[in-house]
Each structure stands twice: as structure tokens, then as C-alpha cells.
Amino acid sequence: QKEVEQNSGPLSVPEGAIASLNCTYSDRGSQSFFWYRQYSGKSPELIMSIYSNGDKEDGRFTAQLNKASQYVSLLIRDSQPSDSATYLCAVRTRGNTGKLIFGQGTTLQVKP
Amino acid sequence: DTAVSQTPKYLVTQMGNDKSIKCEQNLGHDTMYWYKQDSKKFLKIMFSYNNKELIINETVPNRFSPKSPDKAHLNLHINSLELGDSAVYFCASSRTVDQPQHFGDGTRLSIL
């Protein structure tokens, strides 16, 4: 079992729809969770961080965390073609090194 | 001003050569990281320094050696380059080990 799993996609949604991206992780002791967006040929860009159970909203983005079920998700409302990118889920392992384990990423395509 | 900057952006070299990649951050962060992203876009931690002290040293060939002359700089030296070293190498930094990480633009290394 991979430590952090994502469906590689592509996930295709029409413009204006809600895109839902999911991620599961294996280490129950993980405490910090991050979503990064990576455009083709560019570097990962942090878009959301979440540390406690529940929802966290920032503009059109909502991160959801369920530690009991060991999953974290990202919702993108009113999807735009400019949201088309690969979304990387990252989980910080227990311990005090800051080590992040990344999923393989989900490619999102938003069609006009 | 670029927060995390890497040089060079592109590096094309022959098998067996030795090369270095430099990284500098002007954010005043304590922790810096090196990641490797392979052709399948999987992003994996290699090394991390916190206040110039090595805190993450993943299982990588010992041809790879990081060096942190001060908190703002983290360099990566690679000896005897092999075809499998071709990848994009990202530097990242964070304020402390438990804060979100911010990535540089990457160095695309191609081995001929």
C-alpha cells in the first residue's frame, strides 16, 4: 500500500462545475496535510494546508480532512480552465523532521 | 524578488560528469529541502537541513551530497552522473520543520 494515494486521473469537469479531488494516507499518526498545484513544467505551488478534522475554505477552494477515515479532499468550486493542472496531496509524517510524503498527483482538466 | 531561487534552471551534461545545483532562499526560513521529481511526476524528498544541520537523509546514492553553508543556502553536488539521474530537482524551504514548504522553480537535469 502506498503511503499517500491519489487517483492519477485525468479528472475532467466542465467550466463552472465543482471539481472533487481525493487523497488517502496510510499513517494514522500524520498531523499535517497540504494540497499543491503544479502546472506543466512549473514548480509545485501551495494552495491549502489543513491540520484538524473538518473543512477549511479559502476562496473557491475547500479542503476537507477526516482523520478517522484517513482521507483528505480538495473541492474547487466554479472551476475555471486556468485550474487545469496536476494537484498533489502531501502528508507530513509524524516526527519533527518536516518530511512530506507526496501522492502521485491528480490531473484536472477543466473544459470551457 | 524570487523567494526560493535555484541555479541553473537547465543542466545538460554527459554521463560520468560531476555537477552542482545551488539554492538560495530570501525568506528567512530555518529549513531547506531537496526533492527529486521523476519522469512520472512523482515527487520524493532527498535531503533536508534545519539551521544547517542535516535532519533528513533519504536512501539516495552516496554520489549525491548536500551542503548547507548557511541557513539561506542549500547546494546539491552529484558525482559520476548516471542516466537515471535525469529528473527535475526542486529546492524548497519552510519557516520551521512544521510549517508549509515553498518550492523553487526547479532544475531540469538531462544526462546524455
* Model confidence pLDDT, tens digit, residues A51-91: 999 999 999 999 999 999 999 999 999 999 999 999 999 99
At residue B1, does pLDDT exceed 70?
A: no
pLDDT attached to residue B2: 65
**Nearest chain B alpha carbon to A35:** B100
Which residues lie closer than 8 Å to B76 by C-beta, 6 or more apart? Answer: B20, B21, B23, B34, B46, B47, B64, B65, B66, B89, B91
| C-beta atoms of A44 and B94 within 8 A | no
Grid cell 520543520 is found at B97
State the average pLDDT over residues A13-29: 96
The mean pLDDT of B73-82, rounded to a whole number, is: 96
Residue B40: which pLDDT band, with cuts at 50, 70 and 90?
confident
The span from the first CA to the last CA of chain B, in angstroms, equals 33
CA dist B23 and B33 (Å) reads: 10
pLDDT of residue A2: 79
Q: What are phi and psi of A81, to 5 degrees?
A: -55, -30
Q: Is the pLDDT of residue B77 over 70?
A: yes
Nearest CA-CA distance, residue A107 and chain B, Å: 11
| DSSP code per residue over B17-68 | --EEEEEEE-S--SEEEEEEE-TT--EEEEEEEETTEEEEE-S--TTEEEEE
Say what the pLDDT of residue A100 is: 94
DSSP A13-46: EETTSPEEEEEEES-TT--EEEEEEE-TTS--EE
Q: Parallel, antiparallel, or unpaired: how do β-strands B31-37 and B87-94 relate?
A: antiparallel
A33, A63 Cβ separation under 8 angstroms? yes
- Which residue among B41, B96, B98 sits closest to A105, beta carbon to beta carbon? B41
Using CA atoms, how far apart are residues A84 and B14, in angstroms rounded to an integer?
35
Q: Exposed (0-12), middle (13-18) or buried (19+): which is B105, by Cβ within 10 Å?
A: middle
What per-residue confidence (pLDDT) applies to A98? 84
Cell numbers given for B93: 524551504
pLDDT at B52 over 90: no
Measured between CA atoms, the residue of chain B closest to residue A107 is B41
Q: Do A32 and B98 touch (CB under 8 A)?
A: yes
Q: Which three cell numbers stand for residue B41?
A: 511526476
